[in-house]
Amino acid sequence: MKPTRGTSACAGRLWGKARMKPLVGLGVVFLATLLVTLAITAAAQQENEPPKPDKKQLEAEAKELIDEGKALEQQGKLAQAKDKYVDAVGVVSTGDALNAINRIDDKEKQQIESLLTEAHRLYDTGKVPDSVQQLQQGLEIKPAHPALHYDLALCYLKPGDRAAAALQLDLAIDALPSWKERTELLELQSTVLMGTVPPATGTNEKNALAGFNEVYLQEDRDPGDTKGRGGGLCDRTNALRDTFPGNAAVVFNSAKCAEEDAHPEVAARQLAEYIKLAPNALDRADAELFQENLRSLAELTGDSGQVVRRHYANAARYLDYRRYGRTMAEYQAAAQALPDYPQTPWQLGLMYEAYGNIAKAREQFSRFQQLTPDAARKSAAGFHLSNLDGRRAVYDANVDEAEDTLSDLLLASMGLDTEGAKHKTKLSYRQWRWASHRYKEATRATVKLPQPYVERELDRARQDLDAASELFPLGAEAHAMLALISLQGNNWPEAFRSYDAVASQGFPVSFYAQVNSARDSKVVRATKVEIGTDALRLVYLSSYDPKKRVSVPPAKPPGLDNLGNLVVSAAQPPDAQAEAMTIRADDLKGIETDKNFVVLKLAKDRIYLAPLNMLSEIPFEGGASRAFGNEYTRLFARYLGYESAKLGKEGMTAGERFKLGFEIARIGMGVGMMGMGAPVAYGSAVRMARLAHALQVYRTYRSVARGVHVADMGDAATRLADDLQMSTTALERTISDQQRAIVGTEFKIIPTQQIPLKFREKF
């Protein structure tokens, strides 16, 4: 249940005002009657509301949870014990609970170190299956551990299971914080995917290949720029093609550039060459399917055929930048140019399905079945048509569960669940001594929740949303919340990936902030910031009184959830009736970063946005504060199209630009696994784990059994078939088709050398 705002404080204010007026004649009777009525109403409401526990009750509840945690810890059930300690911190933060959490973390770290040492010994003595068992035990303790995943990849490579090794390498890459370490593993992963050995090269040749990789990982081009046709990447690819005619990755990249240059016949020939150079590539089946589609495009005749090829080339390029709305527009234009070309409704059906728009997906897949003469492809469309409504129900249940979790955190962090009560937020000595007055006021308007509790709740919400996204990978509801979660960890490239999915469907991207202005710096408002294509809205959730240290609700409730509608969809758009300020892009005189604030310059005012971060203390001085503010300023540049937005100094050093490009490139790889997207067998264990999690949420809806692991997948196929009334083969096929549609063809990282396959106990 979402918290609701009480009226007792309002009744108190009415009483105070009424006492000051002269009461004579009938006015006395009327006002007395009114006051009695208000008192009775307030009393009745208080009776219906559960009593708020006092401090002693909260401490007793926390102590009980800590005692339960200690009992579990003594039994060796560390994960369950930590969960109890985090529950206790969520009730009231105590030193006992925080120390217990640190103690569990230390014990788990020691266990993983011991397991890695033993796994290393077993690996060196040739006992690879036993080594795998040790590593899998480690992943039960810490699922996102790069060394565990990397060493598992080595173990799978021993017997030649490249698909399993490639999956573990991808998980290791995702868990690494350093781009240098990631680059090395990306080259190894590319080698494993293609099944080729990097040819020996001299220093100059190696530098040329590494130069392509570096540019690719930095690249963050705008599809609306004048470079076109892949820009610098395709120029480099063409140069490498002449120097390395037998390099499979270079040949594959040449096919991609030919596709984006509207030469599908050339791309098809180069894909045939790629298959010849890498006959055992894990993405061979995908490459052959891509080749078939390119040949189909090349066979179109006349002016209409040329128009369709141009639209498909543009669509392929837009997918590089996750401009899904523009991709859809290109396919729709292709459908108008040649209505009877079957491939277009197929692509449109996949895109609508990825959005979760089951009505339009059904329409396009049905159209495809009418147009295609191929019985196998008719059957493939039938897989997608199978139980669209059932998949939508499972998706919605997971989104609802995540919304409950994230809404509670946001309401508590912004002080919206305690409006009318004094905020007890305390500034650190550093904040109190050195921070600006504006920063202090914005900080006082928030409530800092215990970090272990926030981390766990955000992780739970992400699990639900990741599971939902397996069914509809571009669902706006899921990605609106995934973006907010990514921002809490300052992972803004990942947030951009989610925001792109939201914006492509015509919804504003949003984040939460404390806001005040130069004209009225004493008033701080908790605000939902909505960025549209031509205007932005500041939706006011509350006003903070710094003297009384209380938050006061606006005159109109902001949305159904008091958050201005956290989840956006066609059924629940942003709340148009909420108290808000709309600023058109034309009215902005500038947007810039000022320390950790985003500043909106108007003709007669300056509005300061202090983005909410629930996980850490927001930096308030130096390069760190500007880097934090710059992340949010970029949102206005990307989605409002405000190209003159000014970043803070030192916010984009050469190293930061490289990291930015690398992270954005990795986003695409995380979805498509590089190249043509993941084959059905590749990554299926993780996919099935997420789908099983989605179904668990759907079954229990409000009481989720969490922690589904890959090891639990033995009976997942049966559960999926029973719940969704479709075979797991069909479900895997639909998800793989969706991934190909929304990722498209990606450049391949080019291996520059043979990577030594050494067991690692740490990175």
pLDDT at residue 427 tops 50: yes
Q: What is the mean pLDDT of residues 726-734?
A: 77
- The CA-atom distances, in angstroms, between 401 and each of 2, 495, 700 are 12, 20, 10
Cβ-contact 6, 565 below 8 angstroms: no
- The CA-atom distances, in angstroms, between 313 and each of 289, 303, 308, 474 are 17, 15, 9, 21
The three-class DSSP label of residue 447 is coil
Cβ-contact 652, 630 below 8 angstroms: yes
Highest mean pLDDT among 115-129, 629-643, 675-689, 700-714: 115-129
Lowest-confidence pick of 197-206, 458-467, 586-595: 197-206
Angstrom distance (rounded) from CA 217 to CA 204? 20
- The CA-atom distances, in angstroms, between 323 and each of 15, 482, 669, 744 are 56, 18, 16, 12
pLDDT at residue 228 tops 90: no
Hunting for tokens 């008719």 — which residue is that? 378
| E strand or H helix at 734 | helix 728-743
> What pLDDT, on a 0 to 100 scale, did the predictor assign at position 214?
85
Tell me the β-bridge partners of 524: 544
Q: What is the mean pLDDT of residues 729-747?
A: 86
Residue range 72-97, pLDDT digits in tens: 999 999 999 999 999 999 999 999 99
> What pLDDT, on a 0 to 100 scale, did the predictor assign at position 448?
85
Q: What is the mean pLDDT of residues 128-153?
A: 95
pLDDT at residue 721 tops 90: no
- The residue ranking higher by pLDDT, 440 or 666, is 440
> What pLDDT, on a 0 to 100 scale, did the predictor assign at position 682?
43
Q: What is the CATH number of domain 56-194?
A: 1.25.40.10
pLDDT at residue 282 tops 90: yes
Query: Which of these, 272, 265, 339, 328, lies nearest to 297 by C-alpha position?
Result: 265
Lowest-confidence pick of 43-47, 145-149, 280-284, 287-291: 43-47
> What pLDDT, on a 0 to 100 scale, did the predictor assign at position 82?
96
Mean pLDDT, all residues of the chain: 82
pLDDT above 70 covers a percentage of the chain that reads: 80
pLDDT at residue 351 tops 90: yes
- The CA-atom distances, in angstroms, between 425 and each of 411, 421, 442 are 15, 12, 11
Residue range 649-660, pLDDT digits in tens: 544 444 433 333
The three-class DSSP label of residue 496 is helix
pLDDT at residue 13 tops 70: no
Angstrom distance (rounded) from CA 240 to CA 254? 9
pLDDT bin (cut points 50, 70, 90) of residue 421 is: low
| E strand or H helix at 581 | strand 580-584
pLDDT bin (cut points 50, 70, 90) of residue 550 is: confident
pLDDT at residue 224 tops 50: no
CB atoms within 10 A of CB 329: 15
Please tell me the pTM assigned to this model. 0.84
Tell me the β-bridge partners of 591: 600
Angstrom distance (rounded) from CA 29 to CA 747? 81
Query: Which of these, 452, 449, 451, 448, lies nearest to 101 by C-alpha position?
Result: 452
pLDDT at residue 332 tops 60: yes
pLDDT bin (cut points 50, 70, 90) of residue 429 is: low
Angstrom distance (rounded) from CA 378 to CA 375? 5
Q: What is the mean pLDDT of residues 671-689?
A: 46
Cβ-contact 502, 476 below 8 angstroms: yes
**Neighbour-count burial for 517-546, b at 16+ CB within 10 Å, e otherwise:** beeeeeebbbbbbbbbeebbbbbbbbbbbe
The DSSP result for 644-678, as a single string, is T-BPPTTSS-HHHHHHHHHHHHHHHHHHH-STT--
- The residue ranking higher by pLDDT, 70 or 448, is 70
- The CA-atom distances, in angstroms, between 757 and each of 125, 179, 678 are 15, 19, 23
Q: What is the mean pLDDT of residues 127-148?
A: 95
What's the one-letter identity of residue 644? S
pLDDT at residue 571 tops 90: no
pLDDT at residue 423 tops 80: no
CB atoms within 10 A of CB 550: 18
pLDDT at residue 589 tops 50: yes
What's the one-letter identity of residue 222? D
The three-class DSSP label of residue 263 is coil
Residue range 602-648, pLDDT digits in tens: 999 999 999 999 987 777 777 777 778 888 888 998 899 877 677 66
Task: Dig out the tokens for 702 from the structure.
Answer: 């409000």
| E strand or H helix at 95 | helix 95-124
pLDDT bin (cut points 50, 70, 90) of residue 101 is: very high
Residue range 292-320, pLDDT digits in tens: 999 999 999 999 999 999 999 999 999 98
Angstrom distance (rounded) from CA 747 to CA 192? 16
pLDDT bin (cut points 50, 70, 90) of residue 260 is: very high
Q: What is the mean pLDDT of residues 566-586?
A: 91
Query: Which of these, 281, 397, 231, 104, lies nearest to 674 by C-alpha position?
Result: 281
> What pLDDT, on a 0 to 100 scale, did the predictor assign at position 43?
45
CB atoms within 10 A of CB 261: 17
> What pLDDT, on a 0 to 100 scale, did the predictor assign at position 438?
79
Cβ-contact 145, 138 below 8 angstroms: yes
pLDDT at residue 183 tops 90: no
Q: Supply the angle between the helices 203-218 and 231-243 in degrees, to the nearest 10.
A: 160
The maximal CA–CA distance of the chain, rounded, in angstroms, is: 103
- Give the CA dihedral 233, 239, 245, 246, nearest 10 degrees: -40
Q: What is the mean pLDDT of residues 52-60?
A: 80
Hunting for tokens 């002016």 — which residue is that? 303
User: What residues have CB less than 8 Å from 415, skipping those under 6 apart?
Assistant: 423, 445, 446, 447, 526, 542, 544, 551
Angstrom distance (rounded) from CA 703 to CA 724? 20
